């Protein structure tokens, strides 16, 4: 009994020290004017396996907190969109989304094959290089007061299409990585696609009823209702081998109107807490000694996909009819990678040991370079 008490005390101390360190890093990021994501990843590297001071007792709790962080990130992202906005983006921006996919997915896919990885691991790396960080980019646009700029709708259209594409990409990758016979693989993919299509249809059609169920004058009731709705959908999706993160995103889309704004305000502190834990935990899983061997590859891939992302943003803004300066601002604003790249890398880490370190180094590079380039624009 005494040993258990000592273990619990050590867990509390470790967690308190870890959260205190993350708080310091958040202050530094705010002072320096760029994303806190790379700092959280570096902190995880410092306290993970092979780091300066490995955490031994609290990794289990941090792992669960990280999983919740992913769900909250995607749920609050879904709150930003309504069903009508999704339909509008799907109709008007598919061309820009297709260019964005080809220019940024192919470099990662080809790089994975050149590294001698399996085609499954190469598909995962393609996803890592494809998707920009909605969280980092939205934060930078707000800080720079560019939300009203003429190129911002084009930027948001690219981000929305990428987020929607994840609703199909993540279940497909999960099914592909599960292995099995061709029949089992086909069945898994069809089930995943059917579940996502049904969830999206329900979200678009019955979003108002969901919002009415969640709505209440009590903040406490709204907070508990939204968390219950998100976690239940995520758990059910995970049971049928569909990404819980995608279910959380669709749950956020289903909540619309004034209650969406209220939910966003209530959940923002929780999201920031658990999102920090998520990036910190990913860093814990990476041994610092594994980064130097992939550093050159990460830098090369970062340079290439920085250029391709700028090109895709420029193309999207040109289609929107804005001037050349605004097109360059759009392209430079889309460079940052973050939460989705880390989530995708987590899917494939089990089949390719170098994928996690490469993704960590890649995200570190572009999560720092993205906000800097956006400011230089």
Q: How far is CA 100 from CA 48, 97, 106, in A?
A: 35, 5, 10
Q: Is 304 helix (H, G, I), strand (E, B) or coil?
A: helix
Q: How confident is the model at residue 73 (pLDDT cuts 50, 70, 90)?
A: confident
Please give the average per-residue pLDDT across 131-143, as a whole number: 77
**Greater model confidence, 257 or 173:** 173
The CATH code of the domain that includes 183 is 1.20.1530.20
Q: Is the pLDDT of residue 5 over 60?
A: no
DSSP H helices in the chain: 2-32, 37-47, 59-79, 83-92, 94-114, 119-130, 134-143, 152-177, 182-214, 219-239, 244-254, 258-284, 292-319, 324-333, 339-348, 355-376
In a domain, 361, yes or no: yes
Most confident of 19-33, 134-148, 313-327: 313-327
Q: Indicate the number of domains in the chain.
A: 1
In a domain, 282, yes or no: no
Contact 58, 295 (CB under 8 A): no
* 223-79-267 Cα angle (round to 5): 30
Taking only the tens place, the pLDDT of each residue in 212-239 is 777 788 888 888 888 888 888 888 877 7
Residue 101 burial (CB count, 10 A): 18
Q: Which two tokens stand for residue 26?
A: 């958040």
**Greater model confidence, 110 or 63:** 110
**Greater model confidence, 172 or 110:** 110
In a domain, 3, yes or no: no
Instruction: State the pLDDT at residue 309.
Output: 96
Q: Of 136, 80, 60, whose CA–CA distance to 341 is shortest?
A: 136
In a domain, 60, yes or no: no
Instruction: State the pLDDT at residue 32.
Output: 78
Q: Which two tokens stand for residue 17?
A: 């020290």
Q: Which two tokens stand for residue 51?
A: 């780091």
Instruction: State the pLDDT at residue 159.
Output: 83
In a domain, 30, yes or no: no
- CA 327 from centre of chain: 25
Q: Is the pLDDT of residue 181 over 50?
A: yes
Print burial letters for 307-320: b (CB count within 10 Å at least 16), e (below 16).
Answer: ebbbbbbbbbbbbb
In a domain, 24, yes or no: no
Instruction: State the pLDDT at residue 56.
Output: 65
Q: Is the pLDDT of residue 314 over 50?
A: yes
Instruction: State the pLDDT at residue 1.
Output: 43
Q: Is the pLDDT of residue 209 over 80?
A: no
Instruction: State the pLDDT at residue 270.
Output: 82
In a domain, 365, yes or no: yes
Please give the average per-residue pLDDT across 69-86, as a whole number: 73
Structural domain boundaries enclosing 248: 82-271+290-376
Q: Of 330, 307, 333, 334, whose CA–CA distance to 317 is shortest?
A: 330
Residue appearing with tokens 């009415």: 212
In a domain, 71, yes or no: no
Instruction: State the pLDDT at residue 328.
Output: 94
Q: How many Cα atoms sit within 13 Å of 213 on the Cβ side?
A: 14
Instruction: State the pLDDT at residue 184.
Output: 66
Taking only the tens place, the pLDDT of each residue in 335-364 is 988 777 888 887 777 788 889 889 888 988
């Amino acid at each position: 009994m005494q040993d258990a008490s000592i273990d619990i005390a050590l867990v509390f101390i470790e967690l308190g020290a870890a959260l205190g360190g993350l708080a310091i890093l958040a202050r530094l990021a705010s002072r320096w004017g760029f994303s806190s994501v790379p700092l959280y990843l570096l902190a995880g590297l410092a306290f993970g396996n092979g780091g300066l001071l490995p955490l031994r007792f609290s990794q289990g709790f941090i792992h669960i907190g990280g999983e919740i962080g992913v769900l909250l990130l995607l749920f609050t992202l879904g709150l930003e969109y309504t069903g009508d906005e999704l339909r509008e983006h799907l109709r008007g921006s598919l061309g820009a989304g297709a260019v964005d996919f080809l220019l940024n997915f192919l470099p990662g896919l080809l790089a994975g094959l050149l590294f001698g990885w399996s085609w499954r691991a190469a598909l995962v790396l393609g996803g890592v290089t494809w998707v920009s960080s909605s969280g980092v980019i939205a934060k930078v646009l707000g800080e720079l007061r560019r939300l009203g700029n003429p190129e911002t709708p084009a930027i948001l259209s690219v981000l929305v299409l990428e987020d929607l594409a994840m609703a199909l990409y993540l279940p497909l990758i999960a099914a592909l990585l599960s292995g099995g016979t061709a029949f089992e693989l086909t069945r898994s993919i069809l089930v995943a696609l059917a579940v996502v299509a049904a969830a999206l249809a329900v979200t678009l059609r019955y979003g108002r009823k969901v919002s009415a169920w969640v709505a209440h004058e009590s903040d406490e009731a709204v907070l508990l209702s939204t968390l219950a709705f998100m976690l239940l959908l995520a758990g059910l999706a995970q049971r049928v081998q569909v990404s819980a993160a995608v279910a959380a995103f669709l749950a956020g889309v289903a909540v619309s109107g004034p209650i969406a704004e209220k939910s966003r305000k209530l959940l923002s502190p929780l999201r920031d807490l658990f999102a920090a834990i998520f990036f910190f935990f990913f860093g814990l899983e990476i041994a610092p000694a594994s980064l130097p061997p992939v550093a050159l590859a990460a830098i090369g891939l970062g340079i290439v996909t920085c250029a391709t992302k700028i090109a895709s943003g420029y193309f999207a803004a040109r289609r929107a009819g804005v001037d050349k300066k605004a097109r360059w601002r759009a392209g430079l604003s889309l460079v940052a990678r973050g939460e989705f790249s880390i989530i995708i890398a987590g899917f494939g880490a089990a089949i390719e040991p170098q994928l996690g370190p490469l993704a960590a180094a890649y995200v570190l590079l572009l999560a720092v370079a993205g906000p800097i380039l956006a400011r230089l624009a």
